[in-house]
Amino acid sequence: MTTISWIGLGRMGGPMSANLVKAGHDVRGFDLIKQAMVEARSHGVTTCDSIEDVLDGAQVVFTMLPKGEHSRAVYLGDRGVLALAPKDALLIDSSTIDVETAVELHKAAAGAGLDFVDAPVSGGISGAAAGTLTFMVGGETDTVEKAKEFIDPMAGRIVHTGEAGTGQAAKIVNNMMLFISLEACAEGSVLADRLGLDPQVFWDIASVSSGNSWALQTWYPVPGIVDSAPANNNFKATFSAALAAKDAGLALAAGEQTGVDLPAARLAAQRFEQLITEGYENLDCSLIAKYAAPDGKIKGWNPEQA
């Protein structure tokens, strides 16, 4: 049994840490949100009242945090992970952050004598619960090999992407492509409806044809077609507009840094920002489908019940 510390027990970190408990590890967790701690305890995680407490005796430390500034604060603060973790601990950051911050954390960890990998994930909340996430892991080969043992209970696939920061690079590009696919599903679902196509008939065609995508299979924005779609639940978030806007922004920033033109990604980012402006930042990003409708009305969406 390995003592694993987990910082960040939210929508992804909660079910991920629960899978480590199922694998027989002693998992200790911390989150600033009390309800997240309650949920984690219900799945066998021992919760702690501070980062100091959760890091005490840790052999492996996982972090799953919302933004790069949170990762910097948790790792680099005076009472952060690099200052408090045991010197033989393995550090695994599964947050989605910018490449520059990821590389900074690698260098800081190395300076503190600690092994570190950036290991963001793809697969969403359903993949986190099922233990089928894809992990994109950047770092030294030996460290990545050590990390695989602890990642495995949460993963359907583990890919060593290369040197420090490449895990984040892969995640940023992958999410950008997802958002572009989601915009295609949004526009396609509304156009098919306005042309009089039965939504199930159209989905059955698109799902085995050239219009297929992960977004269509998982988030299709029409109720009653895909079990995992937020459209079935008035677009309650599985991946919030706020998080989508953050990740799309990471892709756009990377495009600016590299000189790559990303017009489709800019459109998707604008859609997410529209949701935020309207006060829907905590609803699902697939609600962008409403912007394809001339009257803003789509099946499955009732703003009065949001």
For residue 64, give the nearest of 111, 110, 19, 1 by alpha carbon: 19
Torsional sign, CA 186, 203, 284, 295? positive
Enter the pTM of the model: 0.93
Residues of the chain with pLDDT under 70: none
For 246-297, the pLDDT digits (tens) are 999 999 999 999 999 999 999 999 999 999 999 999 999 999 999 999 999 9
pLDDT of residue 243: 94
Cα separation of 5 and 29, whole Å?
A: 6
Distances (CA, A) of 157 to 42, 152, 170, 260, 267: 27, 8, 14, 29, 30
Residue type for position 120: P
133: its two tokens = 């996430």
Quote the pLDDT of residue 1: 85
Average pLDDT along the chain: 97
CA 306 and chain centroid, separation: 23
User: Annotated catalytic sites, by residue?
Assistant: 171
User: What is the end-to-end Cα distance of the chain in Å, rounded?
Assistant: 44
Find out whether 14 and 37 touch, Cβ atoms under 8 Å.
no
Token digits of residue 256: 């600016």
**H helices present in 159-240, as ranges:** 166-194, 199-206, 214-219
Which residues lie closer than 8 Å to 38 by C-beta, 6 or more apart?
none
How many whole angstroms separate alpha carbon 232 and alpha carbon 178?
20
DSSP letters along 58-122, please?
-SEEEE--SSHHHHHHHHHSTTSHHHHS-TT-EEEE-S---HHHHHHHHHHHHHTT-EEEE--EE
